[in-house]
Amino acid sequence: MSRTEQAYAELIRRVKDYNLLSSCGAVLGWDERTYMPHDGSAHRAEQMALVARLTHEMATAPRVGELLAEVEGSPLVGDQDGDAAANVREVRRGYQRAVKLPPDLVEELARTTTRAQQVWQEARAANDFATFRPWLEKIVALKRREAEAIGYQASPYDALLDEYEPGATAAEITRVFAGLRDDLVPLVRAILGSAKKAPHDILEREYPIEPQRAFGEGAAKAIGFDFAAGRLDVTTHPFCSGIGPGDCRITTRYNPRHFNEAFFGILHEAGHGIYEQGLPADQFGTPLGSACSLGIHESQSRLWENQVGRGRPFWEHFFPKAKVVFPAALGDVSLGQWLFAINDVRPSFIRVEADEATYNMHIILRFELEQALIAGDLKPADAPAAWNEKLTQFFGLTPTTDALGCLQDIHWSMGGLGYFPTYTLGNLYAAQLMEAARRDLGDLDGDFRRGEFGRLKGWLNEKVHRPGQRWRAGELCRRVTGRPLSHKPLIAYLRGKYGPLYDI
């Protein structure tokens, strides 16, 4: 083994070690949001702070920089699409970000956000923004420090966005969102102006929780989530945690008077889980064993939840089963009525319950508020009023409580400023990837009618999951679909779905 090969082997060993430690933190984070006793929050915050500090120390060790310098420019990374080149490129990116962050900031962020999530959960339940406000102020201040430490060219928000969507900028996202909004607003206006109204009350009948759990778990298993390597639990705000090979945890929340909340939440998180389970296990801890970006990650959840899970072929298979599981609620309901109900379009307060047509406007709202918070143009104390003003502007709805407004999402409490834009990017990628899958695979609807999802899952495994971070999101999209990311496939998909439903 040459000296360069030895350096690369040591680099990969070190990278795997600190990501293995980070995965221990992921277990603690999952437990905090599922089973941890209420009074364990302060102690868990100290545990998370310690793990964050130790991981940061390992990731920023001078030896990592020395190894990178030794390998970069060598023949080992000559093939830009090769394993070594991809790993070294992305390790360098992570190293450059990490060494700019003071250890005390990393530790304090972990400590504060762990405590803040507990406070947020209680504040949301009590509709009490005042309790959460000081924690939001701390988090925004810490994230501003983070942005300044990392550096940026145009906007401090860029430094935070880059953590989740490498290479993306606020200006670029703004342009993409503007094109989407230009086509989306008239479509939503036409839908809302239609005389046809979905029988939404069907979804608000009695759906007992245990049958919901069994039905949702069965659907997740059918589309390809491996329960021998994963589990489903309950939480306040659903999430997926990819702990490592053979261990992927998904969560949901149940509402006995609203079918969509848990079922489509399970499909959504199972989509994330299928991505995590599809990453190459032997590359765990390296960029090649990690998700490409959160936008691509979100594309997998939205693809299974919406592109597949809200389609007629899917329910031609699952609706007869649903009628058996929920006979009282669905005994008098036809397939057509059911499809109209689950694809109902109506402005709403809650993002995770929003329909496909209005969902992205929720993201644009958060994207605009987050930029203002990080720039200092919006004080955290004024977030509820600013949120309500924008929601009224976008949807003609004014939240009557902060639980329906700025307290509804967990992301700010966990320090995830910069995260929200990836949801809409995920919708865009999902539509374009599904368009490519249908082109490559032919009659997928026939598969879905038979309850067969293996061909689509296999295509996604090969094209999207196994490459890991070999390419950045935009390049992955171009290679898989044959063209750069565009909002046009999503608009075409939405028009194709809602045109017949609403006669527009």
Which residue numbers are catalytic? Answer: 269
Pairing status of strand 240-244 against strand 247-252: antiparallel
Alpha helices in 326-382 (DSSP H): 327-330, 335-342, 359-375
Helices 209-223 and 259-278 cross at an angle (nearest 10°) of 30
Q: What span, in angstroms and rounded, lies between the C-alpha atoms of 450 and 461?
A: 21
- In angstroms, the CA 16 to CA 33 distance is 26
DSSP code of 450?
T
d(CA 149, CA 96): 11
Residue 251 pairs in a beta bridge with 233
Contact 213, 255 (CB under 8 A): no
Q: Is 214 exposed, middle or buried (0-12, 13-18, 19+ CB in 10 A)?
A: exposed
Q: Does residue 346 sit in helix, strand or coil? A: coil
Paired tokens of 143: 């994230």
Neighbour tally for 361: CB within 10 Å: 23
* Contacts of 96 by beta carbon, 8 Å cutoff, 6+ apart: none
CA angle 363, 126, 382 (to 5 degrees): 50
**233 touches 249 (CB < 8 A):** yes
SS3 242: strand
CA distance 311 to 448: 9
Nearest to 163 by CA among 77, 94, 82, 112: 94
